[in-house]
Amino acid sequence: MKIATVLGARPQFIKAAPVSRAFQTYGTDHPDRPVRELIIHTGQHYDDEMSAVFFREMSIPEPHFHLGVTSGSHGQQTGQMLQRIEDVLLHEKPDGVLVYGDTNSTLAGALAAAKLKIPLAHVEAGLRSFNRLMPEEINRVVVDHVSSLLFCPSQVAIDHLRTEGITAGVHLVGDVMADALSLFSALADSGSDIHERLGLAKGAYLLATVHRAENTDDPERLAGILSAFGQVDEPIVLPLHPRTRKVIDSLGLAVPKQVRVIKPVGYLDMIALEKSSRMILTDSGGIQKEAYWLGVPCVTLRDETEWVETIESGWNQLVGAEADKIVHAIRSFVRPESRPGLYGDGRAAERIVDLCIQSRPST
């Protein structure tokens, strides 16, 4: 059996790591039923800090195909990916295609598989922000509606799919990012020296990330976020996405003096920074979940989130991009007394691989 996995963006490398390990383990445990994972890297995130470091740190197998599609408009980028993925699928003839999340790489991989009538599996199916102005939301909806296997992290995600009339091939598997955190958290403790390199005292800084188009493409929102950072009397560490840096420079926005801007970091360094921060300020879906699992208060710089359970738990607050609301949330956040288990037991990757194998048509 051959499964083609389409990757392209930093969060997908993290999600793919435990699943690739599970594929390898399955092949070792079942030599009579060999399975091969064929990794296709679109190139959506392409420099060392955004791509290669994750493959090294997380022992993800090197991509079999690197398509070299880098930046561009949504249409241009997705179109080039679609054409090049289709060429690979026509040549390799996999039994199935596996995609992750909600990026342009996800959409292109899904469309290529659907057009060629290759069964498609979607990891993180059923997530909805209900904001169709977000390109990620469009990608999620389209991919779910052309998928044969839909791997959901929560019952809420399953309920969303049922509302849209999707019930076949839907499975509650948990969240593969919980698997990744379980696998690599201890390694981050021993293998990361990020605090020493940056001269940071653990527990004495806030960690921020800003990369969503809804924030970076709106000068008013981005200015509001930076203004809020400037009103906080604590150090803020900001690993800055290249796109965000470019927008800040082009708009001539000032980064407040208490904000420590650093280059994007690898997964181990990021987990180490998250673990030891007093609070996380982010527009990232994945980091919202990691903050929850690590027991770190989170302020989400968006108007809605797919991870509603973290809001309901009290560990995450939605504040948008208005400076006053962000500052108020940072200063008034009260840590909840309990933290219920969310998004599975850390064995999502194993379930995903088993279901992919079971779904293979008999010959």
What residues act catalytically? 211
**54: helix, strand or coil:** helix
Contact partners, residue 252, CB within 8 Å, separation at least 6? none
Instruction: Tell how far CA 291 is from the center of its chain.
Output: 13
204 exposed, middle or buried (CB, 10 Å; 0-12, 13-18, 19+)?
exposed
CB 303 within 8 A of CB 286: no
- Give the closest residue to 154 by CA, choosing from 136, 131, 178, 134: 178
Stated length of the chain: 363
CB 283 within 8 A of CB 299: no
Helix intervals (H) in the chain = 10-29, 53-57, 74-92, 104-115, 135-145, 155-163, 176-191, 194-198, 213-216, 219-230, 242-251, 267-275, 285-294, 308-312, 323-332, 348-358
Q: State how far the Cα of 4 lies from the Cα of 25, in Å rounded to an integer.
A: 17
